[in-house]
Amino acid sequence: MRYLFTCIFMMLALPAAAAQPGKECRGKQTFELSDGTTGCLLHLDTTNITRTLSRDDGQSKSQKRQAVLSVVGLYGKFDTRMRVTSKRMKEICTAVMPAMQQKNGGRTPNRVVVQMVWPGVALPKPTRANGGQHLNQAAELSGSCRSPQYFGNRTR
């Protein structure tokens, strides 16, 4: 009977333990998302986003905007679906906005870059594109934490 209770307890406790923040999050701002994923703010910095419009007639344009970059470590169920990652991006942006405002001199930033790093998720094969360390997802959002626009090649 004890063995049965132990097995039931382990089946219930393991998923909850997997979502706990790891050693990377010690002493950092932590948060929990609506889907049960937990995370922490690993790094906060300013960055520039360059948009380039290439044209055949030589009238190419380039536009550079400043943004606040927030790198967050997440623990929980990894998902690549855009509807799931978009919802997470918006929640993360809202959760760390006070820190981003402080970094931006007390003002709400016009553009925000959120990079989700998953230290607990193993990479299928390390490549130069993913750095060979952790699986990450990054997107640019507006200052009101809406309309994520993903970097790189992503399909819906």
Assigned domain for 1 exists: no
Which pLDDT score is estimated for 71?
93
Confidence label for 6 from pLDDT (cuts 50, 70 and 90): low
- Residue 130 or residue 51, greater confidence: 51
Structural domain span for residue 139: 21-150
Distance between CA atoms of residues 136 and 49, nearest Å: 18
Q: Which residues pair with 49 in a beta bridge?
A: 65
Is the confidence at residue 64, as pLDDT, over 80?
yes
Q: Give me the number of domains the chain comprises.
A: 1
- Tokens coding 144: 């009101």
Within-domain flag for 110: yes
pLDDT digits (tens, 9 = 90+) for 74-133: 999 988 888 899 999 999 999 999 999 998 889 999 999 999 988 877 666 655 655 555
Determine, yes or no, domain membership for 108: yes
Is the whole model's pTM more than 0.85, yes or no? no
Residue 106 lies in a domain: yes
